[in-house]
Amino acid sequence: MSDPLAATPFASAGSGPGGAPSAAAEAGAVAVTGQTILVADDETHILNVVSLKLRNAGYRVLTAADGQQALDLARLHRPDLLVTDYHMPLLSGLELCRRLRQDPATAGLRVVMLTARGYHLDEQEMRASGISRMMSKPFSPRHLLLTVSEVIAAAKAA
């Protein structure tokens, strides 16, 4: 397994190269530097786009290509938020969430679940699995960034 933090750039929220405003800052996105988000998806292009958007917004990002790797990283690093695909090898996103809820160290981890269009869980299943929000693919990276920001803000307010 490769180091999920290797080559992870850390950007100051709101500034790009040379101190210029980042794309996220120009779009009005607000991130708190230092917060860690674990992104789990077996589709490399989704993993790359989501990670890039979050890094550009100032978040620290860990990545996992399957559910088991995501579970291991969540237990090791205790991220502030998990953005996960529903359909992944080894552990589905839903099974990943259930296992995280069973572990007292990760039971409070907030989750944004990415799903195929038209798939949904009922409110009770989402609560039981610790899923804060669901988003259908394809999604707008800007909308994902806004959703992440809202979920983190709600967690702080709780």
* Consecutive 10-residue averages of pLDDT for the chain (158 residues): 40 36 41 81 94 95 96 96 93 93 94 82 80 89 93 86
Looking at residue 26, its pLDDT comes to 38
Looking at residue 117, its pLDDT comes to 67
CATH number of 21-151: 3.40.50.2300
Looking at residue 4, its pLDDT comes to 45
**pTM for the complete prediction?**
0.78
Say which residue the tokens 């989750």 belong to. Answer: 111
Domain borders along the chain are 21-151
- Would you tell me how many other CB atoms lie within 10 Å of the CB of residue 147? 18
Say which residue the tokens 């990545």 belong to. Answer: 63
Q: Dihedral, CA atoms, 108, 35, 147, 156, nearest 10 degrees?
A: 50
Looking at residue 120, its pLDDT comes to 73
Q: Which two tokens stand for residue 94?
A: 């839903």
